[in-house]
Amino acid sequence: MNFVTPEISWAPLAPIIIVLGAAAIGVLIEAFIRTPATRRSVQFVYSLIALVVALGVAIVQWVALEGGGTVVAQSMLTVDRQSLAWQTMLLVFGILGLILFASRTRAGESAFTPLGSTAPGSIEETVARRRGFEATEVFPLLLFAVGGMMLFTCVTDYVFLFVALEVFSLALYIMVALARRRRLMSQEAALKYFLLGAFSSALYLFGVALVYGATTQTSFVEVGRGIDAISGREPLLLAGVALVLVGLLFKIGAVPFHSWTPDAYQGAPTPVTAFMGAATKAAATAALVRIVYTSLYPLEWEMSWVFWAVAIASMALGTVLALVQTNIKRMLAYSSVAHAGFILVAFAGFTEEAIAALPFYLLAYGLATIGAFAVVSQVRERGEDGGVGAEAVRLGQWAGLGRRSPLLAGAMALFLLSFAGIPLTAGFIAKFEVFSAAVAGGGWPLVLIGVIASAVAAFFYVRLVVLMFLTDVPDGAEDAIEVEDGSLARLVIMVTAAAVLVLGILPSGVLDVYADAAQFLVLPNG
């Protein structure tokens, strides 16, 4: 047997290499800087620089890109406009998430446990807290997650996609377990997220093995050609494709693979929830778009009913379950399930428009998600000792927030209206684009259901707005809530709120950019 050394053009991978390399060095920083406080600031500044530099490089590459892009490693990796569009988006989410990670309360508490290995409520935990330990490993973990997701958007091989999937998932599992408050809940969420996540990636991998068996190929394009060449529908192939789709729909969080979403969103430290909610959905959608359009398109008919069924189920179940939630993080989690349904609506008919509409939808949704969870992280209950305690996540506790902090409540209202798709917010344009793509593909019944689901969903978003602005603070509860004013979190809230408004009022520039990016370099028939 001859082994041929692969020819790899490294330059287009620069943003990913910067992020993953910085993550690896970040792990070393953990080992060499002993003082927790110094280590924390070094890690934060260092990770921020790495992400900003990577974002700069990615944008330069995008602007300077001639032709369709570059095939980096034959049939494995392709950096094209589509991939760069997603990569820059993920880097923006990464930067916003990172700033939230570093934000602290007035008492100097971060969102993360001082020492992840100590049992909640143990003496060791108290000692670790008193000695000022910091779980600064979350910064390199965030970099690993961002790097894995960026890789996820430009991989063009089924097995390699599995590797990228695990790179970012493993980092997320750990981060979910590191909450400072309500640690039992956080660890339980991590356990559930991990077991279900590992289960779904095992399903995905077995699907890949079956697809490989049926087509003798694992690269997206070659599998596409292979499927075309097989006359009739081989059960092996169909089973494989079904398992592959299950793995990806799990990451997007669509019904019936959504059961991890509410638990992981509620249990995870709120900055992690913000980052995870925005970025995982974006990365998974990016991969799904690439797979569907460059590899599985010959199975259009078989896939379309899967997408229809999952989209309808996600919109319906997500909306209905969000209605009955009393916990704000859980409510936002079920709303994310409904949004997964809206994302899948775009796939009706597999039109070209969908490739342009989806990045905008994920950008609008991700910014609003990060902003909303940033607000959640600022509203605290009063602890037993009179200090600032855990986050106030019961809906009732938010009554009268508009009077305590008009700025925070106003920003939250904006994010909620954007989720609901009210005009003048980014969410409206995003939903409009996605629904028009679906209508162009003949999916109008799906759009009809989507519009009804949006109308129902508007109820629980507006309910929270009413609660914040039109309801009085309950008697005797005036002191029960404390509003934090962490400058870093404020910065994130302001930036995301401004972005949601600007994208809602002047979306054309960004829409043009994404329409320009709506092409794949490597296509089976090209």
Instruction: Tell me: does residue 212 bind another protein (CB under 8 A).
Output: yes
Q: Is 133 exposed, middle or buried (0-12, 13-18, 19+ CB in 10 A)?
A: middle
- Build a one-symbol-per-residue string for 276-315: x at contacts with another protein by CB under 8 A, - elsewhere: ----------------------------------------
Q: Mapping DSSP to helix (H, G, I), strand (E, B) and coil, where does residue 400 land?
A: coil
Minimum CB separation from another protein for residue 234, in Å?
Answer: 13
Beta bridge partners of 112: 179
Rounded distance between C-alpha atoms, residue 236 and residue 359, angstroms = 33
CB–CB of 79/69 below 8 Å? yes
Instruction: Tell me: does residue 408 bind another protein (CB under 8 A).
Output: no
Residue 90 to residues 9, 84, 264, 422, 438, Cα–Cα distance (Å): 22, 10, 20, 25, 25
Instruction: Tell me: does residue 230 bind another protein (CB under 8 A).
Output: no
**Nearest to 417, CA basis, from 340, 508, 504:** 504
Instruction: Tell me: does residue 225 bind another protein (CB under 8 A).
Output: no
Select the residue interacting with another protein from 104, 129, 180, 192 (CB under 8 A). 192
Cβ-based nearer residue to another protein, 205 or 374: 205
Select the residue interacting with another protein from 93, 139, 144, 162 (CB under 8 A). 162
Minimum CB separation from another protein for residue 54, in Å?
Answer: 23
**Please, which residues have CB within 8 angstroms of residue 182's CB and are 6 or more apart in sequence?**
267, 390
Q: Mapping DSSP to helix (H, G, I), strand (E, B) and coil, where does residue 80 land?
A: strand
CA atoms lying within 13 Å on the CB side of residue 182: 19
Rounded distance between C-alpha atoms, residue 505 and residue 423, angstroms = 9
Residue 72 to residues 14, 61, 494, Cα–Cα distance (Å): 11, 14, 38
Q: Mapping DSSP to helix (H, G, I), strand (E, B) and coil, where does residue 182 land?
A: coil
Select the residue interacting with another protein from 69, 97, 116, 253 (CB under 8 A). 116
Residue range at the interface with another protein (CB under 8 A); choices 96-104, 205-213, 377-385, 423-431 = 205-213
Cβ-based nearer residue to another protein, 149 or 437: 149
Q: Residue 236 CB: number of other CB atoms within 10 A?
A: 15
Spell out where 174-245 has E strands. none
Residue range at the interface with another protein (CB under 8 A); choices 4-12, 113-121, 224-232, 305-313 = 113-121
Instruction: Tell me: does residue 1 bind another protein (CB under 8 A).
Output: yes
Minimum CB separation from another protein for residue 211, in Å?
Answer: 10
Applying CB under 8 A, the site for another protein has a residue count of 48
Cβ-based nearer residue to another protein, 183 or 258: 183
Q: Within its chain, how far is the Cα of 59 from the centroid?
A: 21
Q: Is 234 exposed, middle or buried (0-12, 13-18, 19+ CB in 10 A)?
A: middle
Rounded distance between C-alpha atoms, residue 248 and residue 331, angstroms = 23
Instruction: Tell me: does residue 216 bind another protein (CB under 8 A).
Output: yes
Instruction: Tell me: does residue 210 bind another protein (CB under 8 A).
Output: yes
Residue range at the interface with another protein (CB under 8 A); choices 22-30, 86-94, 114-122, 358-366 = 114-122
Select the residue interacting with another protein from 134, 263, 353, 391 (CB under 8 A). 263
Select the residue interacting with another protein from 295, 325, 378, 454 (CB under 8 A). 325
Instruction: Tell me: does residue 174 bind another protein (CB under 8 A).
Output: yes
Prior bond to 12 cis, omega within 30? no
Q: Mapping DSSP to helix (H, G, I), strand (E, B) and coil, where does residue 379 land?
A: strand
Q: Mapping DSSP to helix (H, G, I), strand (E, B) and coil, where does residue 70 land?
A: strand
Minimum CB separation from another protein for residue 138, in Å?
Answer: 14
Residue range at the interface with another protein (CB under 8 A); choices 40-48, 119-127, 289-297, 408-416 = 119-127
Compute the Cα dihedral for 209, 211, 213, 216 and give only its sign: negative
Select the residue interacting with another protein from 185, 388, 395, 488 (CB under 8 A). 185
**Please, which residues have CB within 8 angstroms of residue 317's CB and are 6 or more apart in sequence?**
255, 258, 337
- H-helix or E-strand containing 77? strand 77-80
Residue 210 to residues 162, 236, 303, 363, Cα–Cα distance (Å): 14, 6, 17, 34
Minimum CB separation from another protein for residue 425, in Å?
Answer: 28
Cβ-based nearer residue to another protein, 191 or 473: 191
Residue range at the interface with another protein (CB under 8 A); choices 22-30, 206-214, 310-318, 494-502 = 206-214
Phi, psi of 258 (to 5 degrees): -100, -5
Instruction: Tell me: does residue 471 bind another protein (CB under 8 A).
Output: no
Minimum CB separation from another protein for residue 56, in Å?
Answer: 30
DSSP for 83-125? HHHHHHHHHHHHHHHHHHHH---TT---SB-S-TTSPTTSHHH
Instruction: Tell me: does residue 266 bind another protein (CB under 8 A).
Output: yes
Minimum CB separation from another protein for residue 526, in Å?
Answer: 23
Instruction: Tell me: does residue 182 bind another protein (CB under 8 A).
Output: yes
Instruction: Tell me: does residue 180 bind another protein (CB under 8 A).
Output: no
Select the residue interacting with another protein from 50, 189, 291, 296 (CB under 8 A). 189
Instruction: Tell me: does residue 323 bind another protein (CB under 8 A).
Output: no
Residue 18 to residues 10, 23, 46, 91, 287, Cα–Cα distance (Å): 12, 8, 12, 12, 21
Cβ-based nearer residue to another protein, 163 or 448: 163
Cβ-based nearer residue to another protein, 88 or 200: 200
Select the residue interacting with another protein from 83, 136, 156, 187 (CB under 8 A). 187
Minimum CB separation from another protein for residue 252, in Å?
Answer: 20
Rounded distance between C-alpha atoms, residue 172 and residue 162, angstroms = 15
Cβ-based nearer residue to another protein, 194 or 415: 194
Instruction: Tell me: does residue 177 bind another protein (CB under 8 A).
Output: yes
- Residues of this chain that bind another protein (CB under 8 A): 1, 116-117, 119-121, 159-160, 162-163, 166, 170, 173-174, 177, 182-185, 187-192, 194-195, 198-199, 202-203, 205-206, 208-210, 212-213, 216, 218, 262-263, 266-267, 324-325, 327, 330
